[in-house]
Structure 1
Amino acid sequence: MLKSIFTFFAFLAVASAVEHFYVQNNSTGLACIILDGDFQFNLVFNEANSTQKYTVTLNNTLEVDGDCNGVINNQSVQTLNIKFRPEGQSARYPKEWELNLVFGSSSNEAFKIVDYTLQTQRTDLVPFFGKFVRDEKAAGDVTATETNAYKCSTAKLGLVGGSTIDIKSANIIAFAQVNGTTFPTNQVYEVCYLDARTSDVVPIVVGACLAALVIVVLVGYLIGRARAKRQGYASV
C-alpha cells in the first residue's frame, strides 16, 4: 500500500513538471521571454504515396538562445530557439531537433506568436525527417495585451501539411521586462479561448443541474403534500 502511495505521488511530480525556457536582454539583464510548458509534436509525413503519423515529445533540452531585439521585415520581433533531443533518440541518430518561435507586437497586442519552424531529424521512432513551417491558415490565439501573460491547458500551433505543435500547460510572455527568469508571483494571465469557453460552460451546467434539482424537490414536496391531504380526508 505504502509503495503504491509513493508511486502515485511520484507520478504526480512527473506529470506536473514542465519545461522552462527564457531569453534575457543582454543590455538590461531583464527577461523578455519566459515560456513554461510541455511540448508534443504531432507530425505528418507524406512518403511514397502514403501518410505516416507520429507523436513525439521533447525529451532533453540541449541549448536555448534567443534575441530580445530582433528585426524581421522592418518589424521588431523577439525569438526563442530551442535545440533538443526528442523522445526515442539514440546514438544511432544523434542529430538534435530545433524549434524556433518568433514573437511580434502591435498596438492591439503586447505580444503574439507570429511565426515558428520545426526542424526534425530521423530517430529510432521516426524514420523520416524534414522542416515544418507555420500554417498561415491555422487558427492561433497565443497572444496577450498590456503586461499580461498567456495561459492555456493546450496551445496548438498549426504546421503546413496537418502537423501541429502542442504546448501543454502553457504559460507564455514576451516583450516583457521581468527582473528574474520566472513568472512574478503577481503576474496576470489571459486565458486562451478554449479554456475560457470551458470555464463559462462549467458554471452554466452546474447551475442548470442545481435548478433541475430544486424543481425535482419542489415537485416531490407538492406531490407528498397532496397525498397527505387525501389520506387525512379518508380518515375522517
Structure 2
Amino acid sequence: MTKSLFLFFALLAVASAEHFYVTNNETGITCIILDGDFQFNLVFEDKNVTQKYTATINNTVEVDGNCQGVFNNQSVQTLNIKFNPEGQTARYPKEWELNIVFGASSNEAFKIVDYTLHTQKTELIPSFGTFEMDEKNPGDVTATETNAYKCSTAKLGLVGGASIDIKAANVIAFARLNGTTFPTNQIYEVCYLDARTSDVVPIVVGACLAALVIVVLVGYLIGRARAKRQGYASV
C-alpha cells in the first residue's frame, strides 16, 4: 500500500511539471526543451517597505520562441512563455510573460545568457513590474556537447533580490531532436548544488561507518581487558 501511494504521488509530480519546447517550423527539428515546476519569488519596494510574494504558474497561455535568433550580436535561441499565475481573476486578467535566451560558446553546448520576467497585478499580489537577470547571480543552467541539464532546483537570480526557482528542472537547447520530449538515452549534466550534495553523502556514510568500526573495536578491547583481569583466557 505504501509503495503504491509513493508511486502515485511520484507520477503525479511528474505529470504536473510544466513542459515547454521550441521547434523550427521549417525543418520540424526541436531545438529547446524545458521541463520543470516554476516558482517566482518576487520582491517589491514600496515607500521604503519591502514586500515579498511567491507565485506559480496556473496555466500556460502561449509558448513560442526562435531556434535562429540574435542577441547582443551572437546567435541565440529563445523561449517565450505567456501564462496565467495562481491567484489571477477576472478583475486582473493580464497574463505574465517569461523570456529566456540561450547562448552557446566553444566550451558550452548551451547556457542561459539572459532572462526577463514581466508580471501583472493579481488578487494575491498588489504590485507589478519587470524583473531582469541579476548578472551577479545568473544561475548555472549550462551543459556541454549534446548533453542536457538536470537539477532538483535551478535558481535564476533577478535584480532586486527576486528569483525564479525551476524545480525538477530538465533543460536542453541548441539541440536537434525529432521529437518534443527528451530521448530515453539522453545524457544529463547535474547542477553544481546536486553534484556537491552527491559528493557529501558518501563522505558522511563513510565517516559513520568508520565511527561504528571504532566503537566496536573499543568495545572489544575493553571486554578483552576485563576478561584478563578476571583470569579468563583471552580470545
TM-score of the aligned structures, taking structure 2 as reference length? 0.93
Instruction: Look up the SS of the partner of 1:222 in the other structure.
Output: helix
* Structure 1 partner of 2:54: 55
Instruction: Look up the SS of the partner of 2:231 in the other structure.
Output: helix
Alpha-carbon distance, 1:92 to partner: 1.0
Identify unmatched segments of 5+ residues in structure 1: none
* Structure 2 partner of 1:15: 13
AA partner of residue 84 (structure 1): F
Alignment of 1:1-236 (within 5 A): 11-16=9-14, 17-232=16-231
Which stretch of the first structure deviates more once superposed, 136-145 or 87-96?
Answer: 136-145
Change in CA separation of 1:183 and 1:94 when aligned onto 2, cut-off 3 Å: same
Aligned residues: 232
AA partner of residue 23 (structure 1): V
Note the aligned Cα RMSD (angstroms).
1.9
AA partner of residue 216 (structure 1): V
Q: Deviations over 1:50-92 (max 9, x none)?
A: 1110011111111111100001222100000000010111111
CA distance in 2, matches of 1:197, 1:5: 29
Alpha-carbon distance, 1:7 to partner: 7.6
AA partner of residue 15 (structure 1): A
Alpha-carbon distance, 1:226 to partner: 1.6
Alpha-carbon distance, 1:9 to partner: 6.3
Identify unmatched segments of 5+ residues in structure 2: none
TM-score of the aligned structures, taking structure 1 as reference length? 0.93
Runs of 4+ in 1 over 2 A off after TM superposition: 4-17
Alpha-carbon distance, 1:8 to partner: 7.0
AA partner of residue 179 (structure 2): G
Instruction: Look up the SS of the partner of 1:217 in the other structure.
Output: helix
Instruction: Look up the SS of the partner of 1:121 in the other structure.
Output: coil
